[in-house]
Amino acid sequence: MKIDRPKLHRIYRYIIDWLYPNICPCCKKAIPYDADFCESCKSRIIRFSGSIQIPYTDGFAAYCVYEDPVRPAILEFKKNPDGNSYYAFACGIYTALKENGLFDGLDLIVPVPVSDKTMSERGYNQTELIAKELRFLMNVPYKNVLIKSKETKMQKSIKNASERRENVADAFSVSHKAGDITGKSILLIDDLCTTGSTLENAAKALKNAGVKRVIGASFAKTMQK
């Protein structure tokens, strides 16, 4: 799907490419400034075509399945923010929302937060980087509305779905700096969705704060429900 990028964003991408040449997140090959992946890697990406219902959300979309070649790219992005991943993943979410009819009527983009400990160790929240890029592509503002108020285990270390849900139960809350979000329509994003437990609990916190509509989205979705 062709992405209708705003003119100023195209100029921004062009300038950034001169300073930090654009590379494919999967194979690290040099690609045009406005490309998300190289043609070879993009042809191997398995698009997500399933459907899942995540409690407290009013819709969900994912761009692709969590398999090669995107699997190593997502894992690398959690360790290193350099390169093109944030832009490529934002383009994927944009496309998935458009194709699923979930693009319109959104007031705010909200990234799933990481804990203070993770932020201190990593220095960034990869989902926030995606949200910052999406705001330009969608012309919708982003804001760190949520905080992770409970330290949890890494979800990838837990295989059982019920244990994953328990791990992130009541892990999120709305920041006192969020302002009035009553009646808003929010796009809640994450880089990867497995069981949907993280999005569910983040959406629950938003709905409890008076948000009218929550659309969940991730770049990739595992085959596991």
Domain count within the chain: 1
Residue 17 within a domain: no
Q: Model confidence over 154-197: pLDDT tens digits?
A: 555 555 566 666 767 788 999 988 999 999 999 999 999 999 99
**Cα–Cα distance between 103 and 100 in angstroms, integer?**
8
Residue 29 within a domain: no
Residue 90 within a domain: yes
- CATH number of residue 123's parent domain: 3.40.50.2020
Residue 18 within a domain: no
Residue 76 within a domain: yes
**Which residues span the domain enclosing 91?**
46-221
Residue 13 within a domain: no
User: Looking at the DSSP assignment, which residues form a beta bridge with residue 185?
Assistant: 213
Residue 23 within a domain: no
Closest-CA residue to 83 (of 26, 1, 5, 168): 26
Q: Model confidence over 10-24: pLDDT tens digits?
A: 888 888 888 889 999
Residue 26 within a domain: no
Q: Model confidence over 100-154: pLDDT tens digits?
A: 999 999 999 999 999 888 898 889 999 999 999 999 999 999 999 999 977 665 5
